[in-house]
Amino acid sequence: MGSNGKEKNNAAELNGHFNHLKIADATNDYGTADYVIFGVPFDNTSSYRRGSRLAPNSIRIAYDNLESYEVNYGIDFGECNIADLGDLPAYEDVNYTISEVEDVTRLIFNDKKIPIMLGGEHSITIGAIRNLKDVDMVIIDAHSDFRDSYFENKFNHACVTRRALEMLGRDKIISIGTRSTSREEIESEAYKNVRFVSANEVRLKGIKNIINEIKSKFDKNIYFSIDMDGIDPAYAPGVGTPEPYGLLANDVKEIINALADKIIGFDIVEITPLYDNGNTSMLAAKFIQDFIASRENILKNFKN
């Protein structure tokens, strides 16, 4: 009610004054979108360098500097159906945050759209996986994340692969880039139920042989999760728990290209912008483009 007792809704005028960050190519509303981006600014179980709560908008800002036409795929992102819902509120509790992610991704999956989730820490992936049955999972990660509990918390970011195994079952998860595993994890009876491909194994066998292995084992829909510390710190320095001797950026790109048409959910987590030189957020933004462009290119060729 105004000072003269007259009602007025200023929403439209006010919206013109504020900058609601979103992926530059996300020009669709939710109803017309095939790809639905949203951020989860949560890092409360992070055990080393916190700050991944700041990553969603850091990725969006980096994306602003990428071309909307991807010459390597012949795809114009302006012609793709992409929406960006913004970020979930920054909750304090990991259980509540995971529950919110579960609710949001359930709606997106039910509407036959593909969620692209911007973390935040890796624990948020658990929320998306809770909605999925009879799917396979590919993880890019320096760490096995296979602790049953860490700091007395079963939903710590160091436990995400263990929780995913409990939901998806044995031989449904391949984690690539591993180079840090505790004795407790590797001696667990359940450890062998996940295929952990070390970064060293990738170097020895070559990424194409690893991709062939994935394709030979996985013939269903795939949930794809990128913990950015899986990539070598030379390419992705701004992460919460960096580990030397990692994957090449092109290794991950090739995996995305090969699996894009089977991917029904996608997330990028564990970027810590406070420790970044800009490269990590930019690489994450490019991975999003690689996923959408390679998937659209495959679908376009299939139609032709």
Find the mean pLDDT for residues 24-38: 95
- Cβ partners under 8 Å of residue 132, min gap 6: 109, 167, 168, 223, 264, 265
Residue 97 has what pLDDT? 94
Contact 146, 191 (CB under 8 A): yes
Confidence of residue 1 (pLDDT cuts 50, 70, 90): very low
pLDDT in tens, 72-114: 999 999 999 999 999 998 888 999 999 999 999 999 999 999 9
Given pLDDT bands bounded at 50, 70 and 90, which one contains residue 301?
A: confident
pLDDT at 207 over 70: yes
1 contacts 50 by C-beta, under 8 angstroms: no
pLDDT tens across 228-273, in order? 999 999 999 999 999 999 999 999 999 999 999 999 999 999 999 9
Q: What are phi and psi of 118, to 5 degrees?
A: -105, 110
88-98 pLDDT, tens digit each: 988 889 999 99
Cα–Cα nearest to 283, from 241, 244, 242, 227 = 227
State the average pLDDT for the chain.
91
Give long-range contacts, CB 8 A cutoff, 24+ apart: 245-253.
245/179, 245/199, 245/200, 246/142, 246/177, 246/179, 246/199, 247/140, 247/176, 247/177, 247/199, 247/202, 248/207, 249/283, 250/207, 251/202, 251/207, 252/140, 252/226, 252/287, 253/287, 253/290
Contacts for 292 with CB less than 8 Å, ≥ 6 apart: 35, 75, 77, 80, 82
* pLDDT at residue number 2: 41
* Dist. CA 183–CA 160, nearest whole Å: 17
Phi, psi of 57, deg, nearest 5: -75, -25
**In the predicted model, what is the mean pLDDT of residues 268-283?**
96
State pTM to two decimals. 0.91
Structure tokens at 101: 């992610």
Quote the pLDDT of residue 46.
74
**pLDDT tens digits, residue range 123-136?**
999 999 999 999 99
Reported as half-sphere exposure (CB side, CA atoms, 13 A), residue 210 has a value of 26
* CATH number assigned to the domain with residue range 21-303, chosen from the 4 options 3.40.1010.10, 3.40.50.10470, 3.40.800.10, 3.30.465.10: 3.40.800.10
Q: Mean pLDDT lowest for which of 16-20, 46-50, 138-142, 282-286?
A: 16-20
- Angle 287-32-261 from CA coordinates, rounded to 5°: 40
- Tally the C-alpha atoms within 13 A of residue 286's C-alpha that lie toward its C-beta: 17
pLDDT at res. 149? 64
151 pLDDT band, cuts 50/70/90, is low
The two structure tokens encoding residue 239? 């992460």
Q: For residue 211, what pLDDT is reported?
A: 98
3-state secondary structure of 134: coil
- What pLDDT shows up at residue 172? 97
Instruction: Work out the pLDDT band at 3, boundaries 50, 70, 90.
Output: very low
